[in-house]
Each structure stands twice: as C-alpha cells, then as structure tokens.
Chain A
C-alpha cells in the first residue's frame, strides 16, 4: 500500500532548466495538491485538482504548470527554473472533505 508516491526525492537544476515532478496516489482520491515549503515556513499551495480533468491555481502558481493526467497522477512542471523556486515540494491527495495524505517530498535546489 504505497499511498502517495513522489519522484524524484532530490533534484539540482541550473537556472533556466526545466523539469517535471511526478506524483501518483493509489487511494482512489478525487483531490490532489501541490505545495511548496520554504525553510522555516508553512505549506503554500501551488495548484490543486479537485477532480480528474480540472486544475486550479493556488496561492503561488507563477512559474509552474500542472497536469492531472488521470485520477491517479498529478504532475508539476517548472518550465524555466529560477533560484526562487528552491524549496521542498509536497504532493498530497484526499477524498473530498477528508484529511490530506502527503508524499515524502522533493528537495529541489536551483543554482
């Protein structure tokens, strides 16, 4: 029973490079989320998907794009990475109205 699986766990990029963070859940949840967490701070929502086929912006969407590929998978893409995007990224999923289950996080450094 894997829960929420994120890949990669660590990534170092140079400014301007692109990458996609992958997230998959096996709990048949409708809602999926991408958050970022900067040192010493709480979680800030980047994008979320309330159901398959829909995505919505969160608090800090600039510089990111998302794809809800199917009910299981929700990917986050950085088209042109910037040092300000250095952060820990968490994917999460939930059944609507219930608690969130989090992936183990991706530590991203942009040099």
Chain B
C-alpha cells in the first residue's frame, strides 16, 4: 500500500525565518513527486521533481528529491506572512496517476 508522510504536521515561525518541510514516500512504480500550496481554497502547483539531486527553484522556494532515500524537502527562505498555508506533497506513479497525498504541513508565519 502506498504511503506518504509529511513532517512536521504544523510549524509556526516568524517572518524572515527559513523553514524546511519534509515528505517521505513509499510508492509502487514511482515516477515523480509534486508539491502543492493550499491556502483557503484549492491546492496550487509548486514543483514537480522527477530526478534525484536536481534542485528546483522558484523565488524563495526550492525543492529537491532523493530517490534512493525516498524523500523530498521543500525549503522556504525569508518567509513572509503570505507563505502561511498547508503544503502538500504527492507522488505520481508510472501510469501518471496521483493516487495518494501526504497529510500536509500547516505553516503559519507570524509578522
């Protein structure tokens, strides 16, 4: 049975701090790992990671995948209150289906 575990469950930081969010997975026929940000409504796409060791970057956010150890991290530097959200990770299998999401990390950034 596929399993995706995110840690920590929740995190409270102050503006300007750096945070690291973790996602470990056990997935049959793994293809890629995706990160999403969810504020009030639907999740919005952040990154898709397919190859190990290659960092993807978008502004203050970056992410990397380790396919040997079966985990990914999402880093956010110089956090802002607008980064407050639930961050979700989810693997894609070889058929291209996204069947299992992690439980999410709830990040709160205080001014």
Contact = CB atoms under 8 A, between A and B. Distances in A.
Interface of A: 31, 33, 35, 40-45, 48, 50, 58-59, 90, 92, 94, 96-105
Interface in B72-111: 86, 88, 90, 92, 95-104, 106
Contacts of A97: 31-32, 92, 96
Interface in B26-68: 31-32, 34, 41-45, 48
B42 A59 contact: no
20 contacts: A35-B101, A41-B103, A42-B86, A42-B88, A42-B104, A43-B101, A45-B98, A45-B101, A50-B97, A58-B99, A59-B100, A94-B96, A94-B98, A96-B96, A96-B97, A97-B31, A99-B34, A100-B34, A100-B43, A100-B45
Interface of B: 6, 31-32, 34, 41-45, 48, 86, 88, 90, 92, 95-104, 106
A97 B88 CA distance: 18
Contact of A104 (B42, B100, B103): B42
Contacts of B32: 97
B95 A48 contact: no
A105 B34 contact: no
A68 B48 CA distance: 27
A35 B42 CA distance: 11
A41 B41 CA distance: 14
